Amino acid sequence: MTQNTMHPKSLPPVKFNKKDRPEFFVLLRQRVNQHFTDNQISRHCNWSMRLKTVFMLSVYMVPFAFMLTGVITSVGAILAAWAMMGFGMAGIGLSVMHDANHGAYSSSKFVNKAIGSISNFIGGFHTNWIIQHNVLHHSFTNVHGHDEDIDKGVMRFSPNQAHKKMFRFQAYYATFFYGLMTIYWFVAKDFEQLIRYDRKNLLAGQGLTFKSALAQIIFHKTWYALVFIVLPIMVVPVSWSILITGFLLMHFICGVILAYIFQLAHVIEETSFFKQDETGTVENNWAIHQLSTTANFANTNRVFSWLVGGLNFQIEHHLFPHICHVHYQHLSPIVRQTAEEYGIPYHQHHTFLSALKSHFTLLDRLGRNVA
């Protein structure tokens, strides 16, 4: 979501400074709209996006089918299949269901809902994802107490978060916890979020009651466990412990990939972190806030951009989440030029590794409570 479009009671009381150069986003939207008009192209998916959808789903499901049908039977091949599924799982999360749940995949709400529900095939619950990501993270990026992406109990991602001794070594244990992210999502996170979102009246904004959402979560978690845990144990001719190890390996690989891509966009040395003042106001205009709290990386690497769903163009994504990511590389020069005209920072790392270094440098500073 680009603005607070849900019912006011369903959102935390955050106000952006509407007087802070509002003409910037007006002009930027005009230029972006002109880009699509001049090139006579849709804002939604194209043939490349459709190909990517098939590719990512295949990377996830084909190795699984090979296991179940006995095409592969050795322990090494089976573990390799689970590992490959981890990459496919991450690819689905980054490149397929992400766009659909933003309404960017297609102009059809039905198609977006169908593609977006694929998140249930990787162990999550799509409605909770929409609330955490679209409603809270996109609306209140890096705002203390409101953006759940930087509100993690075992790590300190913001200087506004209270420091604890346990954070001192977080730069060293971060990757391990990143790897646990999706298995935690599958096992507990959706239930915890459901309770919290119900208390905040966020479920109502998605047209759900607590009971209906709980029923959906239980249903999806049950069939997911039956298909991806119980079924392999029943039909694949190796020890159940090998299969469970493979299942956990898949989730670990996926978790690390997802965390690295999303964290490098917001939790690095260059990005800003905010707290509301006593009136509930954040100092910047919403669009300028997104540029202050978001960064791009490895934008010239087209293969990398294709694999990570264009989410290395996070600035463009946060400003225009309803536009399919296949267009971001063309929008980037427009956004950068307009930002420069208004003296607004455009954070960018030329490589993935330099952004990763910046992320872990910040984690180390936050862990040691160094300014």
3-state secondary structure 244-258: HHHHHHHHHHHHHHH
Angle at 199 between CA 198 and CA 200, to 5 degrees: 90
Assess if residue 320 is contained within a domain: yes
Distance CA 73, CA 302 (A): 36
Q: What is the pLDDT of residues 152-205, one digit of tens each?
A: 778 999 999 999 999 999 999 999 999 999 999 999 999 999 999 999 899 998
Give me the pLDDT at residue 2, please.
Answer: 37
In a domain, residue 227? The reply is yes
Is the pLDDT assigned to residue 5 strictly greater than 70? no
How would residue 360 be classed by pLDDT, with cut points 50, 70 and 90?
Answer: very high
| pLDDT band of 7, cuts 50, 70, 90 | very low
Determine the pLDDT at residue 371. Answer: 63
Cross-strand pairs, 297: 349
E strands present in 191-350: 281-282, 295-297, 347-349
Average pLDDT on 261-275 reads 95
Question: Does the pLDDT at position 115 exceed 80?
Answer: yes
Look over the chain and give the mean of its residue pLDDT values, rounded to a whole number.
Answer: 93
Note the pTM of the prediction, 2 decimals: 0.91
Question: Has residue 1 been placed in a domain?
Answer: no
Neighbours of 292 (CB within 10 A): 21
Question: pLDDT of 328-338, one tens digit each?
Answer: 999 999 999 99
Range of the domain at 120: 8-368
How high is the pLDDT of residue 295?
97
Q: Give the 3-state secondary structure percentages of the chain, helix then strand then coil, rounded to 5.
A: 65, 5, 30
pLDDT value for 208: 93
Strand partners of residue 282: 16
Q: What would the pLDDT profile of 46-88 be if each residue is shown by its tens digit?
A: 999 999 999 999 999 999 999 999 999 999 999 999 999 999 9
Whether 289 maps to a domain, the answer reads yes
Asked whether residue 348 is assigned to any structural domain, the reply reads: yes
Terminal-to-terminal C-alpha distance of the chain:
32
Q: How many domains does the chain have?
A: 1
User: Is the pLDDT confidence value at 45 over 50?
Assistant: yes
Has residue 330 been placed in a domain?
Answer: yes
Residue 346 vs residue 20, higher pLDDT: 346
Pairwise CA distance, residues 326 & 47, whole Å: 10
Distance CA 193, CA 129 (A): 9
In a domain, 3, yes or no: no
Tokens, residue 49: 């996006």
CA distance 259 to 269: 17
Residue 206 lies in a domain: yes
Q: How far is 149 from 146, CA to CA, in rounded Å?
A: 9
